[in-house]
Amino acid sequence: MPDVDWIVEPGLIDYAEAVARMESHAEAIRTAGAKERIWLVEHPPVYTAGTSAKPSDLVDPGRFPVFRSGRGGQYTYHGPGQRVGYILLDLDKRGRDVRNFVHSLETWISEALLPFGIAAYAVDGRVGLWVDTPEGEAKIAAIGIRVRRWVTFHGFAINVAPDLSHFGGIVPCGLPDYAVTSLAALGRQASLAEVDECLKARLPAFLDRLADGALSKMPDTGAAGS
């Protein structure tokens, strides 16, 4: 494994607590030389608003707690059955290229889903990962990041087996014309632990892409959250 802490948080962790811990560690990476970290968590049901969130996209504000987040993007949902990954890396030493970071993150997730028979892909102008379904394109993973003093935090959310009806309280990522899906909805019975192992196996390749500064062949999204 690369010289990066790989931490899987047991149980559910409150979103506000996770953000506080994440921001504290990001600051420690920059100011105290703390070790970089990949932190995998699962949250109780919560809606989070990114920096581009529109009030009208919060359709049912009383359904779950709402947390205004500093990440890029619009409204999204976190809850049980969804693997959330917080990526705390120092781009000062891995290449000051936020676009490459986002593209490399998309590639990492798409490669991790391949063993489950999921062919996820990026779409120009829509950050995140998408799959084809009989009803059309649907989103299987969201990405929302922030970079402060060249340290990244926030990250991604992969829908493994969440209650997809919970997305009904928002317009996910501000895209009313697109559905949200999951591994379970696509007929893939995978556990969070199995998804974690696939992510872990492909972590070195993700970090190598950052080190090489090589832009992914995936389409250029030109954004930092969705």
Question: Annotated active-site positions, please?
Answer: 173
Whether residue 67 is annotated as binding a ligand: the answer is no
Give the single-character DSSP code of 29.
H
Residue owning tokens 């920059």: 30
Whether residue 71 is annotated as binding a ligand: the answer is yes
Residues 6+ apart with CB under 8 A from 95: 101, 210, 211, 213
Whether residue 86 is annotated as binding a ligand: the answer is no
Nearest one of 63, 67, 85 to 76, comparing CA atoms: 67
User: 154 and 132 in contact (C-beta within 8 Å)?
Assistant: no
Whether residue 213 is annotated as binding a ligand: the answer is no
Whether residue 74 is annotated as binding a ligand: the answer is yes
Whether residue 121 is annotated as binding a ligand: the answer is no
Whether residue 77 is annotated as binding a ligand: the answer is yes
Whether residue 155 is annotated as binding a ligand: the answer is yes
Give the bridge partners for 40, in sequence order: 8, 85
Interatomic CA distance for residues 157 and 127, integer angstroms: 12
Give the bridge partners for 170, in sequence order: 58
Whether residue 136 is annotated as binding a ligand: the answer is no
Whether residue 157 is annotated as binding a ligand: the answer is yes
Q: Render 69-122 in DSSP notation, one character per residue.
A: -SSSSSEEEE-TTEEEEEEE-BHHHH-S-HHHHHHHHHHHHHHHHGGGT---EE
CA 88-164-106 angle, to 5 degrees, is: 35
Whether residue 156 is annotated as binding a ligand: the answer is yes
Whether residue 133 is annotated as binding a ligand: the answer is no
- Binding-site residues for substrate, in ranges, read 71-78, 142-144, 155-157
- Binding-site residues, in ranges, read 71-78, 142-144, 155-157
